[in-house]
Structure 1
């Protein structure tokens, strides 16, 4: 996970991770900058399994 208020840095990190993990699905989310994510009930997430495509 990478968080920044600098949109250019987020885009650069996203491009770096896409090159590093080409088989993975990656996403950019807006999130509250002054919040400990561990205190939230859940983070934005998606699980897509093989069975979704059958």
Structure 2
């Protein structure tokens, strides 16, 4: 057996006691507070019909 075959593969990291729903909600909240507000669009002026 080679050295690469005997080394265990790392398991995915999981936080015990925290649901995926809570993790997704925390990410969405962080994104919402870290995104600056959008500048309102400038209205387009169109030539008025004569």
TM over 0.5: no
- TM-score normalised by L of structure 1: 0.32
Bigger radius of gyration: 2
